[in-house]
Amino acid sequence: MSNHTLQEKVALVTGGSRGIGRAIALSLAEAGAKVIINYQGNEQAALETLNQIKEIGGVGEIYKADVSSAEEVNSMIKNIIDKYQSLDILVNNAGITRDTLIMRMKDEEWHQVIDTNLTGVFNCVRAVTRPMMKQRFGKIVNISSVVGINGNAGQINYSAAKAGVIGITKSAAKELASRGIMVNAVAPGYISTDMTENLGEKVTENIVSHIPLGRVGTPQDVAKMVLFLAGPNADYITGQVISVDGGMAM
């Protein structure tokens, strides 16, 4: 394990079982943090992430909880703090998509995405606020999206939620700064994951044509930025939204 900038730190990554969440969990573990991998449905994938962490000599565990449930989130945070005596880093990454055009969108397709992608972030931020204020330290990194900045046809629910995450980030940053808690957001562009895989070659080609750097991003591209914001090199940075999108949103 290379750098130990996060030695002794305890980190929770929501939606840490696959894709961007997995890459984030691995990079935090590699930097020496104890990583709790939150997942909702796919225990197998969460265990795979944990095994990869163990392979690099890291420490972690998996924790099943639905972030859209305040009750489940509160109990998860309490259990983590009871066990580890602290929670230093929270990465709000859990997210789902239910893409369709506005006029076809069903109520539940709206609510499911808002509940997980927006209310889920609020639930987690609220739950860690008191313990982080007590320890007078905390790093919260919220995963937004390029579509939270630019919007996207067929994703009004997802775009609204990801824009909302930016609002949460800035409000929480202002409220918590005096207690040594930094809150930032990362806005990934088009990243190659399970979530984007099924879009097909034609759509992907079209997207790449709008990316100045001319390639899709990798989960590691996002994880490196999260690691930076979670670590000591970002101790004077709060309330920021940093795009990791190959220049898509500029």
**pLDDT single digits (tens) 117-137:** 999 999 999 999 999 999 999
- Residue 83 in contact with residue 54, Cβ under 8 Å? no
Q: What is the pLDDT of residue 167?
A: 98
The mean pLDDT value of the chain amounts to 96
Which of 39, 63, 84, 158 is catalytic? The answer is 158
Q: What is the pLDDT of residue 201?
A: 82
Best CA proximity match to 14, nearest among 200, 140, 113: 140
For the stretch 15-40, pLDDT in tens is 999 999 999 999 999 999 999 999 99
Q: Could you give the dihedral angle defined by the CA atoms of residues 52, 58, 59 and 61, in that order, rounded to the nearest 10 degrees?
A: -10
Tell me whether residue 91 is exposed, middle or buried, using C-beta atoms within 10 angstroms of its C-beta: 0 to 12, 13 to 18, 19 or more. buried
The residue whose two tokens read 């008191």 is 130
Q: Is 158 a catalytic residue?
A: yes
For the stretch 172-226, pLDDT in tens is 999 999 999 999 999 999 999 876 777 778 888 888 999 999 999 999 999 999 9
Q: What is the pLDDT of residue 203?
A: 84
Please determine, for residue 84, whether its predicted confidence score (pLDDT) is greater than 50.
Answer: yes
The pTM assigned to this predicted structure is 0.96
Q: Tell the CATH topology of 10-243.
A: Rossmann fold (3.40.50)
What is d(CA 148, CA 33) in angstroms, rounded to the nearest whole number? Answer: 29
Distances in Å between the Cα of 23 and the Cα atoms of 103, 157, 168 are 36, 25, 24
48, amino acid identity: E
Q: What is the pLDDT of residue 54?
A: 98
Please determine, for residue 1, whether its predicted confidence score (pLDDT) is greater than 70.
Answer: no
What is residue 158's three-state secondary structure? helix
What is d(CA 3, CA 172) in angstroms, rounded to the nearest whole number? Answer: 29
Q: Quick one: the chain helix, strand, coil %, rounded to 5? A: 50, 15, 35
Q: What is the pLDDT of residue 2?
A: 52
Given pLDDT bands bounded at 50, 70 and 90, which one contains residue 4? confident
For the stretch 211-237, pLDDT in tens is 999 999 999 999 999 999 999 999 999
Best CA proximity match to 12, nearest among 56, 52, 67: 67
